[in-house]
Amino acid sequence: MATGEPVFVPLATFKQHCQVRGMTGSLKSVFTTYVLSQIVSNTDACVLFADFGGDLFTFNTLKQIAQSRGKKFRFLSTAFTDDWDSFDPMKSCTPLSEATLIRATNYLVTSLSLSFGEGFSTGYFSDIAVLTIQDALSHCIDMGLLYPDINQVSEVAEKSSKHYRRNDVAQATMAFRQLANYPQLRNAPGSEDRAICFERAIENGEVIIGHLPGLLQPTSVKIGALMFWSLILAAIDRAEAGLPKKDVFLVVEECSVIARAPSFEKALTLGRKFGVRLVLVHQTSEQLRGGGHSADMRPIVSDNTAIKLLLTSTTRDDEDQLRGFSEDIERLRDGGKSYSGLNASTQIRGVYEPRLERNEILHTSAITGEGFLVYRAGDKHREPIRIKFDPIYFHEFFTPEAHAALSSIPLPKREAPPEPVPRQSDLNGKGDISPERRARHAQIRAVIEECKKEERWAD
């Protein structure tokens, strides 16, 4: 029952995995931004926000708060024109050696979700991907490339995979080829200060945003997954080195794009063990259902999140889930009527049902900013709490005027966008990019610029 009293959840409670569910317009992104602003303002935690929705309000809010607190703020985007910080995904598994070969292979296969292909079983393509990548990394070691970038691994993968059937290795080589087109994914000499290093980020409590809207750049999902797993590996390396544990928050907006990967349950387990707290933000539970080769992640996400803000419930399963968190109470129900001659009697029977009623869920889900908070702190059972999220009550950033202003500030731009780094196979005999490839690059950049002009993200 709503009381109108403020609900305060200790920030320490958010050191467990968290789930935020709400349709567009439910204020779920505003709520997520508010929680992150509290974490950035009041803790020394490292924050990685993998934003597959592309929310400028969240970006600019966290940037201003981080900088006002003297924290290092970095971001990665897929647009060449943005003033991004570079991210070398191979840094998480180098230097390469025979001892690290399996770890490096598993990291790349897991991050790139190389697990299935059209018309074949999951295991078949998973095995082929593992062999393709492992062979490529082995060749790098043989060639003395102990610190290869993604472009070099891509070149070696294509050459070393020629003894496989082309269709079998297409998934792995295509993934590398797509990633190799991004200069963002390699560190330029002398640019260490503009490079994302998760070991350093955890130590210094940096705030990092992956601004990776997947609708404009499908490869964004792969880049986001590489950042996701790189952060987890950095936390594992820190623990294995005997360094003190630091708080780390890994927030995934539109998490359904990576949550259906077979390895996602492993990420929840490893994150909990090594101090990486996941905040999973999505629109509906149906997005986590899976299908085909994907597992149904709904029960897994529910079981592994101690805090749940459920702003909308769109299916009967959602309603049953909420009522399942509510304790049973005895209710009197009509058991029917009986007649004997001219006399009639009504039977009343007691039944045990959840305290939270379905009608209350339906009415709450229909109101913007209202929902149910479910959390466990390890001390007692708590009923689902009906809440109304009023962000203006907490911070000046969350007024409608401030929201509109922060949502209209574009990402920082660089003066001279870098040219895509050429692959060796794209070079002609004179050591330059072929005219056909150069024209294609120009067309791609033009399309990206047009898409950026039309970009409108509202939530």
Q: Is residue 432 part of a domain?
A: no
180 shares a domain with 117: yes
Residue finishing a domain among 407, 431, 450: 407
Q: Which two tokens stand for residue 259?
A: 């949550």
Q: Is residue 372 part of a domain?
A: yes
Q: How many degrees, rounded to 5, is the angle at CA 358 between CA 352 and CA 361?
A: 135
* Separation between Cα atoms, residue 173 and residue 190, nearest integer Å: 30
Give me the torsion for CA of 286, 288, 290, 296, rounded to 10°: -110
154 shares a domain with 115: yes
Is 102 strand, coil or helix? helix
Q: Which domain holds residue 247?
A: 11-88+190-328+355-407
118 shares a domain with 103: yes
320 shares a domain with 176: no
**Exposure string (b/e) for 192-220, b if CB count within 10 Å is 16 or more?**
eeebbbbbebbbebbbbbbbbbbebbebb
Q: Is residue 341 part of a domain?
A: no
pLDDT in tens, the chain (459 residues): 455 566 666 666 677 899 999 998 888 888 899 889 989 998 999 999 999 988 899 999 999 999 999 999 999 999 889 999 999 999 989 899 999 999 999 899 888 875 544 333 444 446 777 888 888 899 999 999 999 999 888 888 888 766 665 555 567 788 888 898 899 998 766 677 899 999 999 999 999 999 998 766 678 989 999 999 999 999 999 999 999 989 999 999 999 888 877 788 889 999 999 999 999 999 998 888 865 556 788 888 999 999 999 999 988 889 998 999 998 887 776 666 655 555 666 666 667 788 899 999 999 988 888 999 998 877 788 899 898 877 665 566 677 888 889 999 999 998 765 555 555 554 444 445 566 667 766 777 766 666 655 544 334
Contact 224, 182 (CB under 8 A): no
307 shares a domain with 199: yes
257 shares a domain with 372: yes
Q: Is residue 252 part of a domain?
A: yes
218 shares a domain with 78: yes
Residue finishing a domain among 134, 153, 186: 186
Q: Is residue 210 part of a domain?
A: yes
95 shares a domain with 221: no
Q: What is the CATH number of the domain that holds 205?
A: 3.40.50.300
Q: Is residue 416 part of a domain?
A: no
User: What DSSP letter does each residue of 96-113 carry, written as one string?
Assistant: --TTTHHHHHHHHHHHTT
State the amino acid at position 275 in one-letter form.
G
Total domain count for the chain? 2
* Separation between Cα atoms, residue 372 and residue 314, nearest integer Å: 14
Res 249: pLDDT: 96
Name, in order, each residue with C-beta under 8 angstroms of 408's C-beta and a sequence gap of 6 or more.
Answer: 56
Q: Is residue 228 part of a domain?
A: yes
236 shares a domain with 381: yes
Q: Is residue 455 part of a domain?
A: no
Contact 247, 240 (CB under 8 A): no
State the amino acid at position 276 in one-letter form.
V
Q: How many degrees, rounded to 5, is the angle at CA 30 between CA 24 and CA 36?
A: 135
226 shares a domain with 301: yes
98 shares a domain with 170: yes
DSSP state of 332: E
Residue finishing a domain among 164, 186, 208: 186
Res 429: pLDDT: 46
Quote the distance between the C-alpha of residue 277 and its chain's center. 12
236 shares a domain with 110: no
